[in-house]
Amino acid sequence: MADPSPAFAELGEISVAHRMNDMIQPILLAIYPMLKDSFSLSFAQIGLITLVYQLAASLLQPFIGFYTDRNPKPYSLPVGMGFTLAGLLLLSVAPSFGWLLVAAVLVGTGWVVFHPGSSRVVRLAPGGRPRPARGPLR
pLDDT (tens digit, 9 = 90+) per residue, 1-40? 455 556 667 777 777 777 787 788 788 889 999 999 999 9
- Domain assignment of residue 100, yes or no: yes
- Domain assignment of residue 6, yes or no: no
- Domain assignment of residue 3, yes or no: no
Quick one: which of 99, 81, 78 has its CA closest to 21?
A: 81
Count of structural domains, the chain: 1
User: What b/e string do you get for 84-93 counting C-beta neighbours within 10 Å, with b at 16 or more?
Assistant: bebbbebbee
- Domain assignment of residue 41, yes or no: yes
Domain with 97 in it: 13-137
Q: How long is the chain?
A: 138
Whole-angstrom distance, CA of residue 11 vs CA of residue 112: 20
pTM of the predicted protein model: 0.79
Whole-angstrom distance, CA of residue 61 vs CA of residue 108: 10
- Domain assignment of residue 123, yes or no: yes
- Domain assignment of residue 4, yes or no: no
